[in-house]
């Protein structure tokens, strides 16, 4: 299926941008007329992915977080969140619920939430090169007019 619309946004990995990132994706996805719940799921997953970039990928430094979002006429949404940070040596381990390498109060649930709130989650990573997280969800198509 052909891409209906696409947007890209990039920003420094400051925690203040977590809210901006999920709001930007939500505003773009709004073109597909999602339900409040669908939008909340996408916002939560994007927030987790971006927080991972800030907390893990660029742990003691500030780097650039890249988001690309594509929407399709059949209601499919693909969000790619990419960084050029430290990378993940063992993706399987990183995706285990409650596993975290960060100090402080991290629940270790980021990937579990992304997996649970989206239809598909695909993670690729190269240590020293960066990580790319692809989130996919197909929104339920409803009639254009609700009467």
Partner 1 sequence: MGVRLILKNGILTAVLSGEIDHHSAREIRNEIDSTASKVKPKTLILDFSAVQFMDSSGVGLIMGRCKLMQIWDGSVEIANLPPKIERIVSLAGLNQLCVVRKGNLDESDE
Contacting positions for partner 1 (CB under 8 A): 15-16, 18-19, 22, 37, 40, 43-44, 47-48, 51, 54-55, 104-107, 109-110, 112-113, 116
Residues 6+ apart with CB under 8 A from 118: 41, 42, 45, 135, 136, 137
Shortest Å, Cβ 116 to partner 1: 6
Shortest Å, Cβ 110 to partner 1: 6
Closer Cβ to partner 1, 17 or 136, answer by number: 17
Phi, psi dihedral angles at 43 (to 5 degrees): -60, -40
CB of 2 closer than 8 Å to CB of 23: no
CA distance 53 to 17: 11
Residues 6+ apart with CB under 8 A from 142: 33
Structure tokens at 69: 């979002």
Selected catalytic residue, list 17, 59, 84, 106: 106
Tracing tokens 């994007």 back to the chain, one arrives at 46
CB of 113 closer than 8 Å to CB of 97: no
Shortest Å, Cβ 19 to partner 1: 6
Shortest Å, Cβ 74 to partner 1: 25
Catalytic annotation on 82? no
Catalytic annotation on 106? yes
Closer Cβ to partner 1, 37 or 90, answer by number: 37
Closer Cβ to partner 1, 20 or 93, answer by number: 20
Closer Cβ to partner 1, 55 or 129, answer by number: 55
**Catalytic residue numbers?**
48, 52, 106
């Amino acid at each position: 299926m052909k891409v209906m619309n696409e947007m890209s946004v990039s920003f420094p990995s400051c925690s203040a941008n977590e809210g901006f990132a999920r709001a930007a994706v939500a505003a773009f996805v709004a073109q597909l007329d999602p339900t409040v719940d669908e939008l909340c799921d996408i916002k939560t997953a994007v927030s987790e992915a971006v927080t991972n970039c800030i907390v893990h990928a660029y742990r003691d430094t500030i780097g650039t977080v890249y988001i690309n979002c594509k929407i399709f006429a059949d209601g499919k949404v693909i969000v790619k969140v990419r960084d050029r940070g430290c990378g993940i040596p063992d993706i399987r381990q990183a995706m285990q619920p409650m596993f975290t390498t960060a100090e402080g109060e991290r629940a270790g649930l980021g990937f579990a939430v992304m997996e649970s709130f989206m239809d598909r989650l695909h993670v690729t990573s190269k240590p020293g090169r960066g990580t790319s997280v692809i989130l996919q969800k197909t929104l339920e198509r409803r009639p254009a007019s609700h009467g």
